[in-house]
Amino acid sequence: MQDALAQVAAAGFDLSHDFDTRAIADLPPGRGILIGNSRALWPLFEAARRDEDDPLEHYTERVIDT
């Protein structure tokens, strides 16, 4: 989990918190990750930005889906 959090932090999503899913819902044991960003995201996003509809959404999907 720490490797995944470090990877998204390196892409600008530098605010994250892992949590026990049972604490918020009636679910089997598991871990969730809340991911956010500060202004650290913007220079990295601009450097990687592609000419596409919803570029931030696509950048986020590329980073988090890897």
CA gap 38, 14 in Å, rounded: 7
Mean pLDDT of the chain: 91
Do 1 and 33 form a contact (C-beta atoms < 8 A)?
Answer: yes
Residue spans of the domains in the chain: they are 2-64
pLDDT value at residue 25: 83
Q: What is the pLDDT of residue 66?
A: 65
Give, for all 66 residues of the chain, the pLDDT tens digit: 888 889 999 999 999 988 999 888 888 889 988 999 999 999 999 999 999 999 999 999 999 886
Cβ burial, residue 9 (10 Å; 0-12/13-18/19+): middle
